Amino acid sequence: MQIQLFNSKGRQKEPLRLREPGRVGLYVCGVTVYDHCHIGHARVMVVFDVVVRYLRACGLQVTYVRNFTDIDDKIIQRANGLGIAIAALTERYIAAFHQDMAGLGVAKADVEPKATEHLPEMVAMIDRLLAKGLAYTGGGDVYYAVDRFATYGQLSGKQLNELQAGSRVEVDGCKENPLDFVLWKGAKAGEPSWPSPWGEGRPGWHIECSAMSCKYLGESFDIHGGGMDLLFPHHENEIAQTEGSTGHPWVRYWLHNGFVNVISDSGEREKMSKSLGNFSTIADLLAHYPGEVLRLFILNSHYRSPLDFSGELLEAARHGMDRLYTALAAAKKQLGALPEPISLAALSAEPDAPLWQEVAEPFCLAMDDDFNTPQAIAVLFELARTINRSVTLLAQGGAVEQSDLRNRVNLLRQLAAVLGLLLEEPEHYFHRQNSDGGEDARIETLIQQRLAARQARNFAEADRIRQQLAEEGITLQDSKEGTTWRRS
RNA sequence: GGCCGGGUGGCGAAGUGGCCUAACGCGGAGGUCUGCAAAACCUUUAUUUCGUGGGUUCAAAUCCCACCCCGGCCUCCA
């Protein structure tokens, strides 16, 4: 198994070579907590959740760090607008974030540091930059002098002179160069501030990621990820800060995910963003779709490609997810209970097993190739079909190797789990949402009434009941063993 | 203006020199099953075709050139 990943630094696929064998340090830029998260945020979180899940499935020990930006202009503005304390605002949206992530099946990071809890680390780094002559003070602020960092622009492939030529950056009075960025902002009246050698103030945006990643992952680590839009200037600035202050290489692999686009009312395709106001929040979507449907929708495109968002596409993803769970449900009926999934590591220990070659290997090869989740998902669907085929055969009285079916189901759940899919019991998935016990009992009663009608060959009444349930979004499925129901 | 991506069937989306007469999913059509359905299964749904026009090669969706579109970044943004 050799994982290849597309390194934004250098813009090509490279084999993943770790600093320390068996251990991976991963930092992903989290969210600024001043509002609800939208599907664009969901994409980064799901994508890197899968990266972590896969690396762990490969037996690597991953330390995953994902920050919260809990102090910045927009947060202050928003809190003032609402007339509440900053901490009250950020706590509210951190809680909302966690709830969204739980709904999406995104595991918590190992460390979720907050900027406001790392002021000393940031101040220390700024201090080092000043001592090294890479930063300068002006009007109570501290700025980074980008032209003193030799490789500035290397990550994003930008030349300093080109940037300046086409620059639309407003020239700040205290900046020596319009591209210089602020490390420390001097306090203004009515704003929260912290003490520093340069007076009261607060940190610039970029410094937190440098300081916090170094604290939790060391001054060099393996992978840093985030949305494509962070590549410049955020990540460029992070490099300048970190390597400028430590004097040695920092991040080995940069991973950037593509954007979520929305087709606007006028038919234009545009990036989904808070500033454009064209977003669907995760919470809104989770009210209508199971989290795994959103995951399948996101993972069905490669993480670096742009992703168009629409209700129809989400609906298609839902049907796809139903299909996977249907295979699971059918197998469960045959096997009595779903077997405990075997681990990927245990499987790979027996690479000669036919199932490994037929299924697990193609899956892993796809994932090894820069996390090609669409291809990996294809393997899942093919596996689901072989399961359905066996179940169909059994139902027709054919002979099927029970152990083979069991192994396939095992494998389906195990591989799907790497993508954070098929984590529920099928009946829970199909009975989901607003199905409290009373609701379920009511549906069961109607099914019994319909059964009685059918036995009396009163098909008009049976169909009436079925139609009534259909109008509630409930589909019935008759079989020799009885009738089951699902929400669609 | 500079710099990056991308244009594949009705839709989404893999594939980036021969295994591609193009995976997989959604949708459509026909069949099996069913009282009828639903689901599943089977068959089928791009055959000078992978934005357009040239070129390289024994061989190109895949490499090169030109052109046309689309998106992103260059300012906060996942």
Q: Is the CB of A60 under 7 A from strand B?
A: no
Among the ranges given (A307-321, A394-408, A439-453), the one the predictor scored with the smallest mean pLDDT: A394-408
Stretch A247-269: mean pLDDT, rounded? 83
Say if residue A65's pLDDT is above 80: yes
Q: Is the CB of A476 under 7 A from strand B?
A: yes
Q: CA–C1' span, A448 to B46, in Å?
A: 48
ipTM of the prediction: 0.95
Measured CA distances, A364 to A58, A110, A302 (Å): 9, 25, 15
**What is the Cα–Cα distance from A226 to A32, expressed in whole angstroms?**
13
pLDDT at residue A351, as a whole number: 62
Say if residue A343's pLDDT is above 80: no
pLDDT at residue A209, as a whole number: 97
Stretch A231-250: mean pLDDT, rounded? 95
Stretch A464-479: mean pLDDT, rounded? 94
Q: Band of the pLDDT at A1, cuts 50, 70, 90?
A: low
Stretch A270-278: mean pLDDT, rounded? 71
Q: Is the CB of A375 under 7 A from strand B?
A: yes
pLDDT at residue A340, as a whole number: 76
User: Which residues of A in 89-118 have their CB below 7 Å from strand B's atoms?
Assistant: none
Q: Is the CB of A320 under 7 A from strand B?
A: yes
Chain-wide mean pLDDT for chain A? 91
Q: Is the CB of A391 under 7 A from strand B?
A: yes
Output the pTM of the full model. 0.95
Q: Which residue, among A418, A416, A470, A419, has the nearest Cα to A443 in the 3D structure?
A: A470
Q: Is the CB of A128 under 7 A from strand B?
A: no
Say if residue A365's pLDDT is above 90: yes
